[in-house]
C-alpha cells in the first residue's frame, strides 16, 4: 500500500471497505432527503432543500481551475446563498461485523469568491456523521468544525450527542424523522481551538486531512485527527436513540456544510477511505 500513491497518504485499518476518488465519479455519494409519506410536503421543513453533491474542478475566477489533490475532480457541496443553508451528501452501506471502522478524507472549504475580501468568517461549519444501527440502538456520532458563528471566529471542533425531537411523518405510523443537523446542542471537543490554513484570499484553498475512528463493538468514539492534531475522544458520547424499524446494520457516511451569511459556501472532498478491523 505504501507504494501506491493514491493510498499511501491514508492510514487505514486492516481492511479497506471503500476508497472513493472523485476523479472517477461520485462513487455512491448522493443527496440527502428528509423522510416523507404520500406527499413531499410531509417532509420536515429543515430537510426540504439540502443541497447535494457535484463534481468540481475547483475553478476560481482569477486563477482558473485548481483541480483536486491529485487529479481534476473533487466532490463539492455548495450551499445556497442564504445564511444557515446546508449542503449534505450521504453514502449508504451496511456493516458485517461489530468492530472498529475509520473514515479518512482530504477536504477543503471556502466561501464563493463573490467579493475581493478575505471572507474567512463566511463559512459557518462543515462536518461528518456516521449513521449506524446495531440490534439495540441507532447511533449517530457527529463531528463538525465550527469555523464562525454570526460573524465571530470560533475555530473549534465540536460533537453532538443532544437528541432532536423525533416527529411522526404521514399517517401510517411507519415513518419518523428528526433533524439531527440542527445547530443546537453541540459541545466542544477538549483542548484549544484549531485554526486552519485558510490562506490569504478567497480563491486560494489548501487541502486538509481528517480521520475519525469509531468502535461499533461498544458504539464509542475511538480517535479523531485533523491535520496535525489528535483529539482526546474518551469523554465524548455519540448521539444515540432506540433502534428503528428498518435500519438494521446500517452504516451511512455523511458530509455536511453550512454557510454563516447570505453567500454560498463550498466544501470539497478529494477522496474518502473507509476501513475496518474485521
Partner 1 sequence: MRHSHTAVIERDVTWNGTFETEPYEAGWASEAIYFVRILEKDGQVGRGHAKPQISPDGMHWRDEGTLMGFQESKEVAYVRVARFGNYLRLVGELPPGTTAKVIVYLTLKS
20, burial (CB in 10 Å: exposed 0-12, middle 13-18, buried 19+):
buried
If the CB atoms of residues 58 and 276 are measured against partner 1, the closer one turns out to be 58
- Smallest distance from partner 1 to CB 107, Å: 17
Neighbours of 136 (CB within 10 A): 10
Under the binding rule (CB under 8 A), the answer on residue 114 touching partner 1 is: yes
If the CB atoms of residues 31 and 206 are measured against partner 1, the closer one turns out to be 31
d(CA 278, CA 96): 9
Under the binding rule (CB under 8 A), the answer on residue 224 touching partner 1 is: no
If the CB atoms of residues 112 and 270 are measured against partner 1, the closer one turns out to be 112
From residue 55, alpha-carbon distances to 7, 58, 188, 215, 266 in Å are 21, 9, 32, 31, 12
**Which 3 state secondary structure label does DSSP give 273?**
strand
d(CA 19, CA 191): 31
Q: Which residues of 233-251 are buried (b: 16+ CB within 10 A; e: fewer)?
A: beebebbeeeeeeeeeebb
Spatial contact of 130 and 251, defined as CB atoms under 8 Å apart:
yes
- Smallest distance from partner 1 to CB 66, Å: 12
Segment near partner 1 (CB under 8 A); pick from 59-67, 93-101, 140-148, 157-165 = 59-67
d(CA 50, CA 38): 20
Candidate residues 8, 59, 153, 206; the one interacting with partner 1 per rule CB under 8 A? 59
Tell me the Cα Rg of the chain: 18
Longest dimension (CA), the chain: 56
d(CA 104, CA 144): 15
Under the binding rule (CB under 8 A), the answer on residue 223 touching partner 1 is: no
Under the binding rule (CB under 8 A), the answer on residue 31 touching partner 1 is: yes
If the CB atoms of residues 62 and 192 are measured against partner 1, the closer one turns out to be 62
Segment near partner 1 (CB under 8 A); pick from 1-9, 56-64, 224-232, 239-247 = 56-64
Nearest to 237 by CA among 225, 220, 223: 220
Under the binding rule (CB under 8 A), the answer on residue 52 touching partner 1 is: yes
- Smallest distance from partner 1 to CB 113, Å: 8
Candidate residues 25, 171, 190, 235; the one interacting with partner 1 per rule CB under 8 A? 25
Under the binding rule (CB under 8 A), the answer on residue 48 touching partner 1 is: yes
Under the binding rule (CB under 8 A), the answer on residue 112 touching partner 1 is: yes
If the CB atoms of residues 49 and 192 are measured against partner 1, the closer one turns out to be 49
If the CB atoms of residues 180 and 264 are measured against partner 1, the closer one turns out to be 264
Under the binding rule (CB under 8 A), the answer on residue 54 touching partner 1 is: yes
Under the binding rule (CB under 8 A), the answer on residue 92 touching partner 1 is: no
User: How many of the chain's residues bind partner 1 (CB under 8 A)?
Assistant: 27
H/E stretch holding 153: strand 152-160
The footprint of partner 1 (CB under 8 A) covers: 25-26, 31, 33, 40-41, 43, 48-49, 51-52, 54-57, 59-61, 65, 72-73, 76, 78, 80, 112-114
Amino acid at each position: 500500500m505504501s507504494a501506491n500513491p493514491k493510498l499511501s497518504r491514508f492510514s487505514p485499518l486492516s481492511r479497506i471497505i471503500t476508497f472513493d476518488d472523485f476523479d472517477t465519479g461520485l462513487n455512491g455519494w448522493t443527496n440527502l432527503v428528509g423522510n416523507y409519506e404520500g406527499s413531499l410536503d410531509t417532509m420536515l421543513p429543515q430537510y426540504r432543500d439540502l443541497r447535494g453533491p457535484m463534481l468540481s474542478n475547483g475553478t476560481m475566477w482569477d486563477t482558473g481551475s485548481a483541480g483536486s489533490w491529485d487529479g481534476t475532480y473533487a466532490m463539492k457541496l455548495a450551499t445556497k446563498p442564504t445564511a444557515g443553508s446546508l449542503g449534505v451528501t450521504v453514502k449508504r452501506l451496511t456493516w458485517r461485523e461489530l468492530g472498529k471502522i475509520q473514515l479518512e478524507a482530504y477536504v477543503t472549504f471556502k466561501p464563493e469568491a463573490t467579493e475581493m475580501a478575505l471572507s474567512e468568517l463566511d463559512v459557518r461549519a462543515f462536518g461528518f456523521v456516521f449513521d449506524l444501527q446495531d440490534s439495540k440502538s441507532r447511533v449517530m456520532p457527529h463531528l463538525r468544525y465550527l469555523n464562525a458563528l454570526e460573524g465571530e471566529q470560533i475555530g473549534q471542533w465540536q460533537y453532538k450527542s443532544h437528541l432532536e425531537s423525533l416527529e411522526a411523518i404521514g399517517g401510517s405510523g411507519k415513518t419518523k424523522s428528526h433533524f439531527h443537523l440542527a445547530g443546537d446542542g453541540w459541545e466542544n471537543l477538549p483542548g484549544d481551538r484549531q485554526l486552519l490554513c485558510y490562506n490569504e484570499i478567497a480563491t486560494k484553498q489548501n487541502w486538509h486531512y481528517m480521520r475519525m475512528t469509531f468502535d461499533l463493538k461498544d458504539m464509542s468514539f475511538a480517535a479523531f485527527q485533523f491535520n496535525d492534531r489528535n483529539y482526546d475522544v474518551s469523554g465524548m458520547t455519540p448521539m444515540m436513540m432506540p433502534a428503528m424499524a428498518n435500519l438494521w446494520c446500517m452504516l451511512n457516511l455523511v458530509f455536511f456544510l453550512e454557510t454563516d451569511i447570505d453567500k454560498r459556501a463550498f466544501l470539497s472532498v478529494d477522496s474518502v477511505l473507509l476501513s475496518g478491523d474485521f
